[in-house]
């Protein structure tokens, strides 16, 4: 397995481009299952998870054509199987996103139940209950969610008792072809949900209220093909900004979307960094200073994102002062803490809160990536640490960060990939 080796202690300085958002691209690719005409998706990031989704559509018989710019054309008119097999679903939980569109368009979907996961138990009951409320017949049998509908799904009121991003996306996609009106209450407001809704509208769906907690969908009989470009990745953006702040450096990220990062930028300014923004760029300058510790509390959008929690924890590990980092979305999202403590971080865990007292410096060590954002936080810790840090199991990073070592090298980091 590949490893990353980072020689820490370099202040990041430079400019990089942000890739398309993984968590927008995945549901948008799945939305290709709603039409018999081609859906062309642009600004897709080169990531393992994107390849997995394309492979999943491919095994079901959906025709997927990739051009030289990595635009992907999906044509589900060729579908042969309504089966999302365990072998693929187990490698990527977001495979569950094919359930709603496949059921709504073809009347049948069999999707393997995603198993447990490194950051929490992550059930999919809300996805299933939402589809049942729309008249689907769903059984969970032999490790598979087997869903059927007699005729079109029926519009319904779907209330989410917990805010769920992919749950909202699944029901939103299903509702576009249902008979009548569907109202999603306590829906997720994440920018990726809004991006999916905009893509569905471009395909002829009738949706309003996306970006608020109540989304209304008037079902239509048929959608049509479209061409859509996915939004820039806010978590990738935030990760590079935090990396610059932690190293006392400066970074300008371009082709991004500052307005969807408000909660993160507020916290970055609290560290003492100078943060300036334009239409599609953000610049952070720490001016060689040590960041001040900042407390964060994760919650659904527009609050501070759980997907940025680990990176802020890494920065706090070397910041001036003590901060608390509270995780309210996933019950087990602190695996990175134990790895950072091996590098000299001073962190204590109390339930869902980490109390982090900044130390003057971390020391490089061999560490192990446990999930995607945890690995990003170890990269940040490695960038600030004295000496070499070797990160193993970096396939987690490749799921969500396009060309991470090339981008960091552009910023001056001493980082290299060592093939197994």
Residues within the interface to ligand EPU (CB under 6 A): 23, 26, 94, 120, 122-127, 162, 164-167, 192, 306-307, 329-330, 372-373, 400
Residue 273: helix, strand or coil by DSSP? coil
When the beta carbons of 5 and 54 are compared against ligand EPU, the nearer one is: 54
**Strand 157-159 vs strand 181-185: parallel, antiparallel, or unpaired?**
parallel
Q: How far is the CB of 308 from ligand EPU (least distance, A)?
A: 10
When the beta carbons of 271 and 306 are compared against ligand EPU, the nearer one is: 306
Could you give the C-alpha distances from 259 to 14, 157, 237, 245, in angstroms and in order? 22, 30, 12, 19
When the beta carbons of 188 and 286 are compared against ligand EPU, the nearer one is: 188
| Residue position matching structure tokens 């799921």 | 399
When the beta carbons of 192 and 285 are compared against ligand EPU, the nearer one is: 192
Q: How far is the CB of 394 from ligand EPU (least distance, A)?
A: 15
Could you give the C-alpha distances from 270 to 307, 312, 398, in angstroms and in order? 19, 12, 30
Q: Considering Cα of 118, then 120, then 121, then 126, what sign does the dihedral take?
A: negative
Q: How many CB atoms lie within 10 A of CB 139?
A: 11
In terms of Cα–Cα distance, which of 75, 70, 161 is closest to 123?
161
Cis peptide before 302 (omega within 30 of 0): yes
Q: How far is the CB of 181 from ligand EPU (least distance, A)?
A: 23
When the beta carbons of 76 and 306 are compared against ligand EPU, the nearer one is: 306
Helices (H) and strands (E) in the chain, counts: 14, 24
Q: How far is the CB of 412 from ligand EPU (least distance, A)?
A: 26
Select which of 117, 199, 257, 403 is catalytic: 117
C-alpha 93/C-alpha 126 separation (Å) is: 15
Q: Considering Cα of 150, then 214, then 308, then 413, what sign does the dihedral take?
A: positive
When the beta carbons of 123 and 321 are compared against ligand EPU, the nearer one is: 123
| Residue position matching structure tokens 């039409």 | 35
Q: How far is the CB of 328 from ligand EPU (least distance, A)?
A: 9
Is 199 one of the annotated active-site residues of the chain?
A: no
C-alpha 304/C-alpha 297 separation (Å) is: 6
C-alpha 114/C-alpha 120 separation (Å) is: 12
Is residue 412 within 8 A of residue 405, CB to CB? The reply is no
Q: How far is the CB of 132 from ligand EPU (least distance, A)?
A: 12
When the beta carbons of 99 and 178 are compared against ligand EPU, the nearer one is: 99
Q: How far is the CB of 157 from ligand EPU (least distance, A)?
A: 17
When the beta carbons of 43 and 306 are compared against ligand EPU, the nearer one is: 306
Is residue 382 within 8 A of residue 416, CB to CB? The reply is no
**Strand 366-368 vs strand 388-392: parallel, antiparallel, or unpaired?**
parallel
Expressed in percent and rounded to 5, the helix, strand and coil fractions of the chain are 35, 30, 35
In terms of Cα–Cα distance, which of 250, 253, 245 is closest to 271?
245
Could you give the C-alpha distances from 143 to 80, 90, 112, 253, 354, in angstroms and in order? 21, 11, 6, 43, 35
Q: How far is the CB of 174 from ligand EPU (least distance, A)?
A: 14
Residue 300: helix, strand or coil by DSSP? coil
Q: What is the DSSP string of 377-397?
A: HHHHHHHHSBSEEEEE-THHH
Catalogue the active-site residues: 117
């Amino acid at each position: 397995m590949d490893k990353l080796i980072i020689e820490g202690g370099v202040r990041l300085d430079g400019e990089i481009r942000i890739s398309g958002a993984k968590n927008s691209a995945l549901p948008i690719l799945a939305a290709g299952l709603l039409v018999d005409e081609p859906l062309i998706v642009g600004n897709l990031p080169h990531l393992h998870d994107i390849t997995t989704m394309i492979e999943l559509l491919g095994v079901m018989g959906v025709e997927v054509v990739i051009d030289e710019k990595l635009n992907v054309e999906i044509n589900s008119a060729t579908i042969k199987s309504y089966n999302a097999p365990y072998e693929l679903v187990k490698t990527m939980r977001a495979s569950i996103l094919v359930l709603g569109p496949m059921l709504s368009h073809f009347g049948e979907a069999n999707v393997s139940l995603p198993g447990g996961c490194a950051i929490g138990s992550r059930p999919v009951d809300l996805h299933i209950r939402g589809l049942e409320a729309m008249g689907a017949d769903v059984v969970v049998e032999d490790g598979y969610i087997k869903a059927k509908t007699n005729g079109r799904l029926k519009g319904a009121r779907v209330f989410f008792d917990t805010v769920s991003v992919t749950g909202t996306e699944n029901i939103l996609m299903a509702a576009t072809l249902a008979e009548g009106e569907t109202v999603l209450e306590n829906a997720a407001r994440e920018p990726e949900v809004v991006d999916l809704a905009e893509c569905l509208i471009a395909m002829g769906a009738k949706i309003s209220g996306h970006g608020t907690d109540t989304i209304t969908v008037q079902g239509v009989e048929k959608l049509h093909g479209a061409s859509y470009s996915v939004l820039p990745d806010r978590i990738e953006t935030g990760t590079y900004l935090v990396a610059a702040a932690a190293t006392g450096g400066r970074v300008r990220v371009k082709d991004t979307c500052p307005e969807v990062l408000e909660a993160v930028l507020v916290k970055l300014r609290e560290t003492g960094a100078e943060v300036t923004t334009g239409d599609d760029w953000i610049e952070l300058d720490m001016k060689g200073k040590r960041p001040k510790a900042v407390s964060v509390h994760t919650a659904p959008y527009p609050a501070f994102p759980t997907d940025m929690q680990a990176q802020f924890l890494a920065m706090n590990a070397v910041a001036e002062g003590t901060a608390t980092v509270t995780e309210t979305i996933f019950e087990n999202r602190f695996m990175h803490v134990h790895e950072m403590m091996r590098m000299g971080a001073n962190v204590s865990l109390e339930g869902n809160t980490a109390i982090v007292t900044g130390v003057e410096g971390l020391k490089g060590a061999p560490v192990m990536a446990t999930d995607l954002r945890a690995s990003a936080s170890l990269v940040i810790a490695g960038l600030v640490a004295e000496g070499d840090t070797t990160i193993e199991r970096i396939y987690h990073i490749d799921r969500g960060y396009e060309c991470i070592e090339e981008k960091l090298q552009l910023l001056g980091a001493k980082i290299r990939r060592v093939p197994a």
